[in-house]
Amino acid sequence: MGLLALALGGFGIGLTEFVIAGLLPQVSRSLNVSTAAAGWLISGYALTVAVGAIGVTAATAGLPRKPVLVGLVALFVAGNLLCAIAPNYPTMLLGRVVAALCHGTFFGIGSLVARRLVPPERASRAVAMMFAGLTVANVLGVPFGALVGERWGWRATFWAITATGAVALAAIAVLVPGWAGRVSGGAGGLRAQLRSFRSTQV
């Protein structure tokens, strides 16, 4: 059940990342900005994922992983709630940035936790199951989210994503055991994280 909770978190994050592409015309009209400016709701998210993941991962490297996962999903919920109620474009962009801060670190920590929930020989399958949430978001969630936006408005889509995040938050808090998120003694900060770049494979 813990793996399903992680997969649900991945589903919500994948949904919020990609569904905005089909809603840009609506968002731009509603917030009175050009389509090009609205495009920053995609680019700003992506840039935050790329840059923010390094800092967030380094800042949380030595902390117990389950509370970090819960905090990351709470950040995701807050960001999407901000998008759903955004009265203007700057608030909408801020919501996208806040939601994006959890993205890279969630999948990194979630993968480690998923591996510990199963016997070693099933670790790869567990990680694949967690990432299946992201796949389902792309294949089914994004078209459905766009359909919701077309029928009830783009804010309805973000309300649905917020609700999905809230369910994922509760599921992770209840179903992911604390022992799966304990940090080994080798965890380190930013310097330890950056040492990975010495590897030619990385």
Per-residue pLDDT of the chain (202 residues; tens, 9 = 90+): 788 888 988 899 888 888 888 888 899 999 999 988 889 999 999 999 888 877 887 777 777 888 889 999 999 999 999 999 999 999 999 999 999 988 888 888 888 888 888 888 888 888 888 888 888 888 888 888 888 888 899 999 999 999 999 999 999 988 888 776 566 544 455 565 566 667 777 6
What CATH number does residue 16 fall under? 1.20.1250.20
Find the domain containing 78 and state its range.
Answer: 2-198
pTM of the full structure: 0.83
Alpha-carbon distance of 65 to 54, in angstroms, equals 16
Q: How many domains does the chain have?
A: 1
CA angle 153, 157, 162 (to 5 degrees): 140
